[in-house]
């Protein structure tokens, strides 16, 4: 066996890992209300981007949801919470930051994972009029609604492609 043959399996493992980072499609089994309720004001965020404990906190405070009222009837709330918790991210992978101070809601845009993925983004881009908030994923990730975050699909505020 020559060196190329030995490295080929390693390379496919590398490709599999690299492909995962930009693929945040919603896992199967979402209750219909997840898209219609949690996708009404912003993107229906991929469950993997917050830890289970943080999703429980978000779902426990829907009446005061980042300045909005996002209340649901109890059965719908329970179904969505179960889906989010079941598909939540691992705290070890997300790193610190998502869990907010007592009385504040957790933010997936505050995790170490999110910051690492965006370390090359100029700070002014987050405040640009076409973006306004890091939570506005679709402002830059043009295919975010279908769960795809490939770098070649990114268009920065002002219309500049991230990669050409």
Binding site for ligand HEC (CB under 6 A): 21-22, 24, 37-38, 40-42, 45, 49-50, 58, 62, 65-68, 70, 80, 107-109, 117-121, 125-126, 131, 133-137, 139-141, 149-151, 154, 156, 162
Sign of CA dihedral 69, 75, 78, 83: negative
Tokens linked to 78: 């329970």
Query: What's the closest the beta carbon of residue 6 comes to ligand HEC, in angstroms?
Result: 27
Query: What's the closest the beta carbon of residue 4 comes to ligand HEC, in angstroms?
Result: 26
Tokens linked to 143: 């295919």
Is 51:97 a contact under the CB 8 Å cutoff?
A: no
Query: What's the closest the beta carbon of residue 152 comes to ligand HEC, in angstroms?
Result: 9
Is 89:46 a contact under the CB 8 Å cutoff?
A: no
Nearer to ligand HEC, 2 or 163 (CB): 163
Determine the angle formed by the axes of helices 74-86 and 52-60, rounding to 10 degrees: 160
Nearer to ligand HEC, 3 or 124 (CB): 124
Query: What's the closest the beta carbon of residue 11 comes to ligand HEC, in angstroms?
Result: 17
Q: Which residues have CB under 8 Å from 159's CB, separation 6+?
A: none
Nearer to ligand HEC, 6 or 17 (CB): 17
């Amino acid at each position: 066996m020559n060196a190329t043959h030995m490295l080929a399996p390693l390379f496919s493992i590398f490709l599999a890992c690299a492909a995962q980072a930009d693929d945040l499609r919603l896992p199967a089994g979402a209750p219909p209300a997840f898209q219609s309720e949690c996708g009404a004001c912003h993107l229906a965020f991929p469950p993997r981007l917050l830890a289970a404990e943080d999703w429980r906190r978000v779902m426990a405070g829907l009446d005061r949801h980042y300045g909005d009222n996002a209340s649901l009837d109890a059965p719908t709330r329970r179904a969505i919470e179960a889906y989010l918790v079941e598909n939540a991210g691992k705290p070890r992978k997300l790193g610190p930051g998502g869990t907010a101070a007592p009385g504040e809601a957790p933010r997936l845009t505050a995790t170490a994972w999110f910051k690492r993925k965006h370390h090359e983004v100029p700070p002014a881009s987050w405040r640009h009029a076409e973006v306004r908030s890091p939570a506005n994923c679709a402002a830059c990730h043009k295919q975010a609604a279908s769960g795809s975050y490939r770098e070649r699909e990114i268009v920065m505020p002002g219309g500049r492609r991230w990669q050409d």
